[in-house]
């Protein structure tokens, strides 16, 4: 009988531990995304950044300083700081927006979603971490990847390699 009670205590302790671990894992996963209210985003971003990142706006072509940025460095999300592109992936597309032929990571940093707005069929690109709108991706890139990530400069922050 004592043995049985011991066994029960052992099993429940084990199950309890497992549950705690599971909730810890969930916590870590949740921390890798950033969810803020519209008000919090408004405080965190400039109005023009908010319009692009949170309202899927598009900045005026050729308006971004990043169009002419060709220094070595990393382009991160202006909303949450997630690393999205590196300078080696940038190319001059002459389309008026900063363009890249690939992204950092294995496709998990940037979410792709069909976009049927304005009577066009396009693929929207979104920061996986904060859900911020970045721009669109097209299959007409001139480099080996064949991809053109057309990105609003306002949704990016450039961190120059020192």
What does the binding site for Zn ion look like in residue numbers (CB under 5 A)? 77, 79-80, 82, 127, 129-130, 132
> Quick one: 3 or 29, whose CB is closer to Zn ion?
29
Q: What is the DSSP letter of 8?
A: H
Which structure tokens are listed for 67? 């169009």
With contact defined as beta carbons under 8 Å apart, do 124 and 74 qualify?
Answer: no
Give the nearer residue to Zn ion in terms of CB position, either 79 or 98: 79
Q: Give the nearest distance from C-beta 149 to Zn ion in angstroms.
A: 15
How many other C-beta atoms are found inside a 10 Å radius of the C-beta of residue 24? 10
When the beta carbons of 82 and 125 are compared against Zn ion, the nearer one is: 82
Q: Which of 77, 127, 130, 150 is catalytic?
A: 150
Nearest distance in Å: CB 80, Zn ion: 3
Q: Is 77 a catalytic residue?
A: no
Report which of 111, 148, 104, 109 is spatially closest to residue 126, judged by C-alpha positions.
111
Report in angstroms how near the CB of residue 22 gets to Zn ion at its nearest: 27
DSSP 42-88: HHHS-HHHHHHHTT---PPTT--GGGG--SSEEEEETTT--EEEEGG
* Backbone φ and ψ of 150, nearest 5°: -100, 110
Toward Zn ion, which CB reaches closer, 64 or 155?
A: 155
CB of 119 to Zn ion, least distance (A): 28
Q: Which residues are catalytic?
A: 150
């Amino acid at each position: 009988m004592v043995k049985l009670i011991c066994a029960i205590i052992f099993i429940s302790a084990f199950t309890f531990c497992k549950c705690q671990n599971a909730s810890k894992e969930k916590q870590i996963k949740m921390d890798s995304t950033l969810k803020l209210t519209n008000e919090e985003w408004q405080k965190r971003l400039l109005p023009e950044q908010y319009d692009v990142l949170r309202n899927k706006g598009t900045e005026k072509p050729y308006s971004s300083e990043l169009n002419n940025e060709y220094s070595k460095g990393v382009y991160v999300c202006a909303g949450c700081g997630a690393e999205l592109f590196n300078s080696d992936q940038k190319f001059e597309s002459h389309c008026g927006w900063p363009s890249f032929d690939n992204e950092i990571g294995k496709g998990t940093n940037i979410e792709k979603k069909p976009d049927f707005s304005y009577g066009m069929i396009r693929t929207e690109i979104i920061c996986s971490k904060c859900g911020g709108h970045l721009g669109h991706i097209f299959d007409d890139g001139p480099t080996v990847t064949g991809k053109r990530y057309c990105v609003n400069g306002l949704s990016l922050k450039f961190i120059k390699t020192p």
